[in-house]
Structure 1
């Protein structure tokens, strides 16, 4: 933390919760004051050209400093939501398949920078916590929040409790095997993983592999993106529509595994790949869930990609500090306005 910034803020007495969401594509930061008002919000591309993961650490610290400076308050607690996997003790991000760094330190540098409690959650867990506490999952004690974005992950609420697992890494559902025919490589080093087919980063390679088997005469674009594929299907392109029919089978297998593993009452699907393409990604997948499984309620999230960030703030809000406030009660009032 810069001395000048700290000196400017040191006389502040209001309750302040800061949060950041570290994704494979973007970093978001925000801050809430006394009554749950969102005072400031930032979004930047993830730093991908640093010498090491400390470049991202510094980016997160700076972005939290910026929103707190705008709010005119030092943070009393900091909540972090991040793509995983997390190290033992949730100290750092380690070897994330969608980030170009072996290790991104979090807990120690953030605690040193802000001198307050720092809570860290896998982004799927943060999203699940948000949905359970203040959104579509309220009143549902067994739910899964699934995010389909640059990667794929999920968070689990089981019997009313957040299921984090060892190191906070429960819910790395993008790394279950869903296929042995194409056997596509995943960024984690495995093969046939759901993320390698259906995520924003994996969909283009699945399309290329699919073309090789199903449409060998199709002139493929080597730099095709998930967004372009969805647009082509929406415009009625026959090959793109056929590809998404096969992708729906893959997504159905993933959803079936979630149901078999966690027996949720509800699955809430978030992440821009799903929420921005409900007719192409979401609805077709539902038709391919194994018929023998009890079908939970499956809905799209309505948090516009903000569920993990809000969940990080809520989770940090469960920590009491020397100010004697229960932040959770503070944040609940107006957090949904962010």
Structure 2
């Protein structure tokens, strides 16, 4: 199978690229190489004759047409997106242009290619999205595939719009699509502006470990390599027009998560005195901060037989060890724009 992966130099996209190549799939990695992308993420796949790279922006329709014509993929896995909520608060325009207009361009380029190829039965357009499109939960309940959309940030609103476009292209034009909405990812190669890498790297540097509000916001945590496995399963075996929620079945509050990370660091690289938890600092909450996300993954479990392979504690231990072992990867990224600076406070 030849897979066109958009955003394949990013965090989740690179996990998909690495896993797909390791399983013998041909992969075309399409990435604009914006601030959060890093080709080192796919270095282990780049030496394979199954891998090729195209630097392109999904906002450039003509370039997309060239890539489809040149590579003729069997399936598309569309991950390219602006994804940091705090950045979306400060600068929503990039999220509209990339997540909405870019997805429109991808759909139209894919549709034109699919039609010109005679509408091959095996073609799939897999759109990868987020649980944040569903809004915020109270103390009880979980998001299902039938949960109404209720986005609360420019990021989640732009992803909700892209989800609607994908469904519309399926219903109106017959484009063969599948969709997935995932919970919070973490793991190796996570760009150092998100919570888990920020906590790990700040802890090691002796800096404050910032927690928004009182730390009670709850997320369902999904190890990125488990997510990549689920995504490949959906693109191969998911039912056309169907959406699948992918969750880690690992709910933790932000405070619990940070405390767990501190405990792992205390064991792996102890401080001269005290605990890394002593560095925890509470900061002003994010505007419109969703209280809780929780995924009901029963559809993908029952229909496709998938479930996560690690608990959050197991995944966090693997993640911490990876960052301890890979300073050469994350150190240069800390100099990129916005990294290490509190964003999303302009609202």
Q: Report the TM-score when normalising by structure 1.
A: 0.31
Q: TM-score, normalised by structure 2?
A: 0.30
**Going by fraction, where is helix more abundant, 1 or 2?**
2
